[in-house]
Amino acid sequence: MDEIVKEISAKEFYEIFKRFKYFNNIFIGLEVKNKNFGLGKIQSFKKNAGDFLVTVKFLNGEFFNFSMKSFEIYFQSVRFPTKKLNVINKWMQKKVSIVFSKKLFISKRFKRRYFYQKKKGYKPAYFMFKTFIEQLRQKYKSFGIYHYTDFTNLESIFKEGFLYSRVDCIKKGLQFTDGADHNVLSIAPYDVKNKVRFYFRPNTPTLFENEGIKLPAYIGKAHMPIPVCLLFDDELILLDTTEFSNGNATSVKYTQIGCTYAFFKSMEWDLIFHEGYIEPFERNKIVNRRNSELLSTTPVSLKYLKKVIFRTKADFKRASNLFGMNKKFCVDINYFSDKSRNYYSEEKMVNFIVDYEVDVYFNKQRRISSIKLELYSWRRHEDYKIEVRFLDKRGNILPFGNFRIEKSLNISTTDGMFLYVDLYNVKGDFSCAEKLEVLMNNVVCVEEFLDRFKVKDIKINFNSCVNGIQILFEVMIVDISLLFSKHSAWLYTSNDERKYPDLEERKIISFEKILLKQEYYNIQKEDVEVIIYMVDNKIVKSIIVSKGE
């Protein structure tokens, strides 16, 4: 017996689809009618930038993709089996046909069976969470999962591949720069200290108190000299190992912690994303809500890391020198507190190096003879001291008497910012110097390896080989001391995996040229994202590989 079908308009079908888009498998196989191609059958659905693409196979055998948001434009009607319509109607509280009801009410049975369906490793109400997260993203553009840490902690974070709680860091013996206010931390429950903490927004009141190189008189409290913002994927909200606090998690008296969809939705999001002036009688409540947190009961893998946001170009350059270029690295001062740009009080005053330039000059013997350094800082104050120093290969500070430093001051306007410029012209014996460091009030702000300037150019040639790829590095050097150094390279793949060469051959061509040939097995050119070239295990050049190169 033939199945009874009902022909409904494209508009009516789209109304049904909007309510059941996450269970779109029930629509596969339906016949649709297009005025140009005639009848076709729905083959599949695919998410695409907040929309769904529907693939339709027409009677002539051709396949086409259409946007569901434009479904009414492309199609006239859909042939819907009556049996499927009846099943859908059972899911609704109203007995009237789903096709003609203006407002659709999802039954408790449907919610229990589908919306509250348990997905392994995720919270119940997975799809309801996802829908509400999308609504938050549209309403609050800065919504995200943020973790702030000091620059000095990046090395251990990248090495471990995880973010750990304060308790776990101590247990594992990991050294970290502590930016927390210990007066606040002392009253925090042990349970909170045992969780990895994130914020839902940037520029939190806590960051305002902690951030920046402060004047020496005010360092005693919370201090995060060089903050870095780690932006994580929203998927952390969905994991069954995470919880939410509707205020600062250490404030037990005024903050509740929960993990359900109902609790998450009930959080006062307008107060969490509040900006601007606060009335005195509302201050405590709004400041607490702005510090609302996501808490993870287990270490968080860096596979969820989306961006590493630096406050200045100087911090970005320093990270690139130490860890190599990375597509996740970016610079945006707007993710940090505005006290960096505005003056509030001497207690809140901070300073930092915005950018810098280094020029290295060589003598006739092709050795470093002098170095010119330009430092662009935010403000000038008698209590902010800048120190330039050089370190040898063992990390020992070279005697100041080895160098003659000429210093001058200037003022510059860069990218619309009024900056103070410190100019240094350094001459002396650089034969033992490996690294240049710049400190502001004893906080390291600049790290430059001098071997980077001894390499004039690196040309890279990709070739396919039987087992994978072959990379030929043609290295042009300035200082002949690099002829006797260890040259090496490795790759980052598109899934953030570090790959070392399976075969390597080094050859000296002349006093100015070195060839390094490497072979990587079981990898394709398209998989390579970043190439890191090193001399004596120090990064001298990193290249982000564009697709198609």
CA distance 137 to 74: 29
CA distance 221 to 137: 34
Find out if CATH 2.20.25 is the number for domain 352-453. no
- Indicate left, alpha or beta for 262 from its phi (over 0: left) and psi (-120 to 50: alpha): alpha
In whole angstroms, how far apart are CA 112 and each of 24, 125, 239, 242, 519?
A: 18, 9, 19, 22, 54
Does position 191 have pLDDT exceeding 90, yes or no? no
- Amino acid, res. 395: G
- Amino acid, res. 85: L
CA distance 491 to 118: 39
Using a 10 angstrom Cβ sphere, with 0-12 exposed, 13-18 middle and 19 or more buried, the burial of residue 123 is buried
Does position 547 have pLDDT exceeding 80, yes or no? no
CA distance 279 to 257: 26
So what's the pLDDT on residue 100? 37
Report the mean per-residue pLDDT for the chain: 85
CA distance 132 to 113: 19
Residues 41 and 57 sit within 8 Å (Cβ to Cβ): yes
- As given in the structure block, the two tokens for residue 466 are 């039987």
pTM above 0.85, yes or no: no
Q: What percent of the chain has pLDDT over 70?
A: 91
Backbone angles phi, psi at 366, to 5 degrees: 60, 40
- Amino acid, res. 316: F
So what's the pLDDT on residue 273? 95
Does position 115 have pLDDT exceeding 50, yes or no? no
- Indicate left, alpha or beta for 212 from its phi (over 0: left) and psi (-120 to 50: alpha): left
- pLDDT one-digit tens code per residue, 214-249: 888 887 777 899 999 999 999 999 999 999 999 998
Alpha-helix runs per DSSP H in 221-266: 235-238, 261-266
Q: Is 154 helix (H, G, I), strand (E, B) or coil?
A: helix
Q: Which of 96-110, 196-210, 306-320, 506-520 has the lowest mean pLDDT?
A: 96-110
- As given in the structure block, the two tokens for residue 242 are 């995470």
In whole angstroms, how far apart are CA 229 and each of 153, 158, 208, 232?
A: 12, 14, 13, 10
In terms of Cα–Cα distance, which of 215, 224, 195, 220 is closest to 336? 224
| Torsion angle of C-alpha atoms 59, 61, 65, 66, degrees rounded to 10 | -10
CA distance 327 to 318: 15
- pLDDT one-digit tens code per residue, 529-539: 899 999 998 99
CA distance 116 to 110: 9
So what's the pLDDT on residue 549? 53
Residues 229 and 335 sit within 8 Å (Cβ to Cβ): yes
Element (H, E) at 156: helix 154-160
- As given in the structure block, the two tokens for residue 80 are 């819907």
Does position 23 have pLDDT exceeding 80, yes or no? no
So what's the pLDDT on residue 103? 37
Q: Is 183 helix (H, G, I), strand (E, B) or coil?
A: helix
CA distance 70 to 414: 46
Does position 19 have pLDDT exceeding 90, yes or no? no
| Torsion angle of C-alpha atoms 20, 23, 29, 34, degrees rounded to 10 | 40
Q: Is 137 helix (H, G, I), strand (E, B) or coil?
A: helix
Please calculate the CA angle 282-285-291 and round it to the nearest 5 degrees. 130
Does position 111 have pLDDT exceeding 60, yes or no? no
So what's the pLDDT on residue 478? 92
Confidence of residue 45 (pLDDT cuts 50, 70, 90): confident
- As given in the structure block, the two tokens for residue 525 are 């050119």
- Amino acid, res. 221: K
Residues 10 and 79 sit within 8 Å (Cβ to Cβ): no
Does position 95 have pLDDT exceeding 50, yes or no? no
Confidence of residue 195 (pLDDT cuts 50, 70, 90): very high
Residues of the chain within CATH 2.60.40 domain(s) are: 352-453
Backbone angles phi, psi at 112, to 5 degrees: -65, -35
